[in-house]
Amino acid sequence: MLRVIRKVSLVGMLALLLAIMLAASSPFSATSYASPKIGGKIIIVRLSQEELDAYDNGQLFVSAPVATGRPQLPTPTGIYHIFAKYSPYRFISPWPAGSPYYYLPSTANYAMEWAQGGYFIHDAPWRGYYGVGANDWHWDSLMGEDPGTHGCINVPTSAMSQLFSWATIGTTVEVDP
């Protein structure tokens, strides 16, 4: 009987160890988020504050308010890396006309893709408001009623031009809730 108990305990311990290892390696684990104190370049977006901060070897490079995904089309959280850069870039709606998510073709001056599925950090010359509340229904001086983005991270053009020149393919993008 003692031998069976040891087997169960060993199996249980291995299962617990595996669960701990998987949780620690998850991109959504709070402990896995990068720190601006780490060397190199990192862009940190805080969705709750609608703010972007870019750090170069721990030093703040640029900070800007942003507009992110509306509740129905949220900006994904986690750790990513820029894998494509375009200047300019023309966005074409993947939704058909008549869809509540449809938008007219729009051209950004600077766009950096950081997540599969068309998630970009880009300027939005058509937008006038950035910051807290920009990810839900609000009044925008250029757009009128605006529900937030389709999941992209919109940055004012002045800050985005600096960010685009500074960031390289592979730059880390951390999106926090």
111-133 pLDDT, tens digit each: 999 999 999 999 999 999 999 99
Type of residue found at 25: S
In this structure, the answer to whether residues 47 and 78 fall within a common structural domain is: yes
In this structure, the answer to whether residues 26 and 58 fall within a common structural domain is: no
In this structure, the answer to whether residues 116 and 77 fall within a common structural domain is: yes
Q: Is 67 exposed, middle or buried (0-12, 13-18, 19+ CB in 10 A)?
A: buried
CA–CA separation, 30 vs 106, rounded Å? 35
pTM tops 0.75: yes
In this structure, the answer to whether residues 28 and 92 fall within a common structural domain is: no
In this structure, the answer to whether residues 69 and 107 fall within a common structural domain is: yes
What pLDDT score does 37 carry?
Answer: 60
In this structure, the answer to whether residues 20 and 43 fall within a common structural domain is: no
* Pairing label, strands 106-108, 78-81: unpaired
In this structure, the answer to whether residues 76 and 127 fall within a common structural domain is: yes
With a cut of 60, say whether residue 29 has pLDDT above it.
Answer: no
Residues in contact with 164: Cβ distance below 8 Å, sequence separation at least 6, in sequence order: 85, 87, 110, 112
Lowest mean pLDDT among 26-35, 74-83, 141-150: 26-35
Contact 105, 97 (CB under 8 A): no
